[in-house]
Amino acid sequence: MKTDKQGTYIKGTKKALPDGWMTGAFRFAVFPTDEQKPRLERAFGCERKVYNEYVAGLYAHLESGGFSGGFLAYNVPNYTTITSRFDFLDRSNDSFVYNDAKIRFQAALKKYNETYAKRPLQHKKSVRKKMKNGDMPSLQDVKGLPKFHSRKQGKFSYTTNQTNGNIRIGEKNGAAFLRIPKFPEGLRLNLHRALPSDGIIKKATIKREGDRYMVAVSVDYPFEQAPLKTQIETADITALDYSQSDLYRDSEGRKAEYPRFHKLIEKRQRRLNKSLARKKNHAPLDENGQPVYSKNYQRTVKNYQKTMAKAANQRKDFLHKKSDQITNDYDAIVVEDLDLTNLAQCLKLGKKLHDNGFGMFRNMLKYKAERKGKHYLVADRFFPSSKLCSACGTKKENLRLSERTYACAHCQAVIDRDHNAALNLKNYGIRTLSDSGFLAEPVSI
Ligand SMILES: [Zn+2]
């Protein structure tokens, strides 16, 4: 459990796990029957309704008080103040459906307070244009404030928490079933890997991605901690230098051979986007002036979601395989200390940088290495991995970002820039491990 500065427990924060335990998420495909599908969709819809009522409540509060940005001290009411106002938000849904809306709303509010409250009030670009013409912006246009969730796009999911064994995975006639509140008959699922045998299910998130249903089961479980490796050979140390175009370059000079998953689907994504815009423009309006979307439009939306989900899954899969391989093959992995958000802003690489998932990759390497008793080393932020010559150690002060090849004026070595940086990181790792007595043969470099 987290504590505040006075050492008091903050209500609702995560309880710390005992030593040797970890939390893992396990994702499975779920196959609801035709009878179950509408019930799941209804739960997703009710979650959204409660969430949107929370947003409406906040907006009403802000409008009455006059909002001009800054920190929001807003008391989030219990969901029952909302569910009691609508007959259809009844007990046919798992009560966690409503609670989940509250949790998500609180998270959105927190995000605003942590990220946007310190900045001056900002509006979306499209709205700024309208404001020039004298139109008044609405709260919905303020950057960072919680927004209404749309029925067409956005999340189709809810999370249910474990209370007294209400979430279970069992078997019926040789098939695996997930039992969650309001679905005691079970949802069939593809249990492609077993959950840890002595694990404890903490929560389950049911979601629809395109036209597929998935569940992410969060499990706390004890893991076997391998003893920390000692007597390490330098050949069993590798270093990875972040590469903007190919995830990383390692100290052996190999590339990650990283497929640009988003690039691969970009064309398809563009086509679907265009098609959606066209359908939106041609949609007839109802009596309130809202467009009435066709079946075809909804199908395309699902298709779009499916495409995006597929790219994200492929990427994650690739990163898992690579990090498994590296943490199996080597006893120590050295990476540089990167502030990814900062880097993205500095170099205007935003989209690309987040696209290749280096942050996610580093997290995977870290926890996998730790579990296997391997060393995960992060070079000091001020370690000049790019500027040093890996052959002679001379430092080149004025190395430009455009110089893709490192040419040393001192020893005449010529080497690929990223490979050179990775070798420097490896040397850093060798020194660090040697200093702390983990090397088979200590070095002095
Ligand atoms: Zn040199």
Rounded distance from Cα 388 to ligand 1 centre (Å):
8
Rounded distance from Cα 414 to ligand 1 centre (Å):
8
- Looking at 222, 243, 270, which one is the last position of a domain? 222
Distance of CA 40 to the CA centre of its chain: 24
- Asked if 148 and 32 sit in the same domain, the reply is yes
Residues listed for the chain: 445
Rounded distance from Cα 436 to ligand 1 centre (Å):
27
Rounded distance from Cα 346 to ligand 1 centre (Å):
29
Q: Is residue 8 part of a domain?
A: no
What is the DSSP secondary-structure string of 85-110?
T-TTSSTTS-HHHHHHHHHHHHHHHH
Rounded distance from Cα 84 to ligand 1 centre (Å):
74
Rounded distance from Cα 420 to ligand 1 centre (Å):
10
Bridge partners of residue 439, in order along the sequence: 232
Rounded distance from Cα 434 to ligand 1 centre (Å):
23
Rounded distance from Cα 379 to ligand 1 centre (Å):
21
Rounded distance from Cα 78 to ligand 1 centre (Å):
65
- Asked if 250 and 349 sit in the same domain, the reply is yes
Rounded distance from Cα 421 to ligand 1 centre (Å):
13
Rounded distance from Cα 385 to ligand 1 centre (Å):
13
- Asked if 182 and 270 sit in the same domain, the reply is no
Q: Is residue 300 part of a domain?
A: yes
For residue 120, the enclosing domain spans: 21-222
Rounded distance from Cα 14 to ligand 1 centre (Å):
50
Rounded distance from Cα 439 to ligand 1 centre (Å):
25
Rounded distance from Cα 239 to ligand 1 centre (Å):
19
* One-letter amino acid of 90: D
Rounded distance from Cα 93 to ligand 1 centre (Å):
68
Give the pLDDT score at 15.
Answer: 62
Rounded distance from Cα 405 to ligand 1 centre (Å):
13
Whole-angstrom distance, CA of residue 399 vs CA of residue 46: 57
Query: Measuring CA to CA, how many Å separate 43 from each of 79, 208, 300?
Result: 15, 12, 22
- Asked if 213 and 253 sit in the same domain, the reply is no
Rounded distance from Cα 394 to ligand 1 centre (Å):
6
Rounded distance from Cα 247 to ligand 1 centre (Å):
26
Dihedral sign for Cα 362, 368, 369, 370, please.
positive
Rounded distance from Cα 382 to ligand 1 centre (Å):
20
Rounded distance from Cα 398 to ligand 1 centre (Å):
15
Give the pLDDT score at 167.
Answer: 92
- Asked if 251 and 347 sit in the same domain, the reply is yes
What is the DSSP secondary-structure string of 363-374?
HHHHHHHHHTT-
Which among 65, 67, 93, 66 has a CA at the least distance from the CA of 79? 93
Whole-angstrom distance, CA of residue 103 vs CA of residue 76: 10
- Asked if 254 and 393 sit in the same domain, the reply is yes
Give the pLDDT score at 10.
Answer: 47
For the entire predicted model, the pTM comes to 0.67
Give the pLDDT score at 436.
Answer: 93
At 175, is the secondary structure helix, strand, or coil? strand
Tally of CB atoms within 10 A around 193: 9
Q: Is residue 47 part of a domain?
A: yes
Q: Is residue 5 part of a domain?
A: no
Rounded distance from Cα 441 to ligand 1 centre (Å):
25
Q: Is residue 229 part of a domain?
A: no
Tally of domains within the chain? 2
Rounded distance from Cα 149 to ligand 1 centre (Å):
57
Q: Which residue has 């926890």 as its token pair? A: 367
Whole-angstrom distance, CA of residue 99 vs CA of residue 81: 12
Rounded distance from Cα 336 to ligand 1 centre (Å):
21
Tally of CB atoms within 10 A around 322: 19
- Asked if 334 and 393 sit in the same domain, the reply is yes
The tens-digit pLDDT sequence of the chain (445 residues) is 444 444 444 455 556 777 778 888 899 999 999 999 999 999 999 999 999 999 999 999 998 888 888 888 899 999 999 999 999 999 999 999 999 999 999 999 999 998 888 888 878 777 777 777 777 778 888 888 999 988 766 779 999 998 888 899 998 888 999 999 999 999 999 998 888 888 889 999 999 987 889 999 999 888 888 899 999 999 999 999 988 778 899 999 999 988 877 677 777 778 888 888 888 788 888 887 777 888 888 788 878 778 877 888 888 889 999 999 999 999 999 999 876 655 555 544 444 445 567 888 999 999 899 989 999 999 988 899 999 999 999 999 888 888 889 999 999 999 999 999 999 999 999 999 999 999 998 887 5
- Asked if 390 and 255 sit in the same domain, the reply is yes
Q: Which residues surround ligand 1, an ion (CB under 5 A)?
A: 389, 391-392, 394, 408, 410-411, 413
- Looking at 153, 187, 222, which one is the last position of a domain? 222
Rounded distance from Cα 399 to ligand 1 centre (Å):
14
Rounded distance from Cα 45 to ligand 1 centre (Å):
63
Distance of CA 435 to the CA centre of its chain: 36
Q: Is residue 14 classed exposed, middle or buried when 0-12, 13-18 and 19+ CB atoms within 10 A define those classes?
A: exposed
- Asked if 252 and 324 sit in the same domain, the reply is yes
Those residues with Cβ within 8 angstroms of residue 166's Cβ, 6 or more apart along the chain or in another chain = 160, 179, 180, 181
- Asked if 37 and 153 sit in the same domain, the reply is yes
Structure-token pair, residue 439: 């090397």
* One-letter amino acid of 131: M
- Looking at 222, 253, 284, which one is the last position of a domain? 222
- Asked if 304 and 377 sit in the same domain, the reply is yes
Q: Is residue 440 part of a domain?
A: no
Give the pLDDT score at 350.
Answer: 42
Rounded distance from Cα 386 to ligand 1 centre (Å):
12
**Phi and psi dihedrals of 123, rounded to 5?**
-120, 160
Which DSSP symbol is given to 394? -
Q: Is residue 64 part of a domain?
A: yes
Q: Is residue 445 part of a domain?
A: no
- Asked if 54 and 163 sit in the same domain, the reply is yes
Those residues with Cβ within 8 angstroms of residue 68's Cβ, 6 or more apart along the chain or in another chain = 121
Whole-angstrom distance, CA of residue 183 vs CA of residue 168: 11
Rounded distance from Cα 337 to ligand 1 centre (Å):
24
